[in-house]
Chain A
């Protein structure tokens, strides 16, 4: 049957368009507008052209923060996605264990970002923190305030603790939607545990994994509150990610123009990487079908 095209239906999305215009499009246009101007306050603006973009692209501070952010996101995805799949595969499928596991998994997600940061900030302290004191008692030289590696480990472990649950819950939902008939057929064929995972569970989780990868990438690439509370971007600038740098520039230094230029470049990188992830994962395997 031929599809019916009726473009009048576009009028139905007009209210949403107006809402998005006021909440996203006009603010974004304002940022573009500020990125080509300079201000010293008092609502006086001076034309700066592309200077701020040029400065940002030649700024070592920007590139350092960007690489730090990309490394952080890569580490987070490399840990959280396999770990989330592993935990979801090993969670009970029926019985009293299901609600218990689901509640335990959901708990970290319910805690606000700044509270998570505060928990880990205290938890890791060498003088009063349980983790810091325990590691010191074991003879491990751990101090996230002074040592860059310790600061990175703390921020990564904190994010894994906070957000792996999201991947677990998404994967668990994907696994729960697989009909038993698939497993019965695999059992009859004598499929190994790996084959069941590779040819039944993983393909069936593809959609939820797409959402998990996208959400975790975007969240980790835009992370601000937790590392800011725990390390404040330090020691030095070792855990200063793009968003922390951006806030320092826009609010701390009131450099609205450079901050606007930097945020637009930041936005374009997020847009590009999200599009690449989305396109690759939605089209994965479809070429074989054609």
Chain B
């Protein structure tokens, strides 16, 4: 099948590939440890690991947007900051 008319690019493919791999990873994690590991963290309400992934991805999107608007188009530092943020979310939220 020819998908050239959709004008897909490698960066967007890599972006969605990463998200897809994250979801596959979460599915494997759920398969190995069922139940979503619910717990009450610093936000004082119950979150599962799926919630924590959602909070990580949404927060990362805003970190990168803020960096783009305030600093500039070089997003490597904001990407690193997002990874640190995601680790903190999975650890403490």
Q: A: which residues have CB within 8 A of B?
A: 3, 5, 7, 29-30, 32-34, 36-37, 39, 43, 45, 47, 49-51, 53-54, 57-58, 265, 268, 271-272, 275, 279, 283, 286-287, 290
Interface of B is mostly: helix
Check if B88 is an interface residue, CB within 8 A of chain A: no
Q: Are A33 and B69 in contact (CB under 8 A)?
A: no
A-B contact count (CB 8 A): 60
Cα A34 to Cα B54 with chains together (Å) = 24
Which residues of B lie under 8 Å from residue A30 when comparing CB positions?
Answer: 6
- A287: B residues at CB distance < 8 A: 44-45
Q: A37-B7, A57-B68 are in contact. Are A50 and B58 (CB under 8 A)?
A: no
Which single member of B12, B35, B45, B46 contacts A33 (CB below 8 Å)? B12
The closest CB in chain B to the CB of A30 belongs to: B6
B residues within 8 A CB of A283?
Answer: 44-46
CB proximity to A under 8 Å, residues B1-38: 5-9, 11-12, 15-16, 30-31, 34-35
Structural contact, A33 and B75, CB atoms closer than 8 A: no
Q: For the complex, what is the distance from the CA of A290 to the CA of B61, rounded to whole Å?
A: 33
Give chain B residues whose Cβ lies under 8 Å from the Cβ of A45. 7
Residues of A within 8 A of B45 (CB): 279, 283, 286-287
Does B79 have its Cβ within 8 Å of any Cβ on chain A? no
Contact status B5-A33, CB under 8 Å: no
Residues of A within 8 A of B92 (CB): none
Residues in A neighbouring B40, C-beta threshold 8 A: 290
Q: Does B73 contact A (CB under 8 A)?
A: yes
- A33-B9, A50-B68, A268-B62 are known contacts; what are 7 more A-B pairs with Cβ within 8 Å? A29-B16, A33-B12, A36-B9, A45-B7, A283-B46, A286-B45, A287-B45
SS class, residues of chain A in contact with chain B: helix
Q: How far does the alpha carbon of A288 sit from the alpha carbon of B35 in the complex, in Å? A: 25
Output the least CB separation between B37 and chain A (Å).
Answer: 12
In the complex, A135 Cα to B46 Cα: how many Å?
54
Chain A residues lying within 8 Å of B73, measured Cβ to Cβ, are: 49-51, 54
Contacts of B53 in A (CB 8 A): none
The answer to whether A5 and B34 have CB atoms under 8 Å apart is: yes
Check B34–A47 contact: CB distance below 8 A.
Answer: no
Question: 28 A-B residue contacts at CB 8 Å?
Answer: A5-B35, A7-B30, A7-B31, A29-B16, A33-B6, A33-B8, A33-B9, A33-B12, A34-B7, A36-B9, A36-B11, A36-B12, A37-B7, A39-B7, A43-B5, A43-B7, A45-B7, A47-B9, A53-B68, A54-B68, A54-B69, A57-B65, A272-B62, A275-B58, A283-B44, A283-B46, A287-B45, A290-B40
**Are B68 and A268 in contact, with the CB atoms below 8 A?**
no
Q: Are A32 and B12 in contact (CB under 8 A)?
A: yes
Q: How far is the CA of A268 from the CA of B8 in the complex (A)?
A: 22
Q: Roughly how many angstroms separate A286 CA and B61 CA in the complex, as a whole number?
A: 29
Q: How far is the CB of A30 from chain B (nearest CB, A)?
A: 7
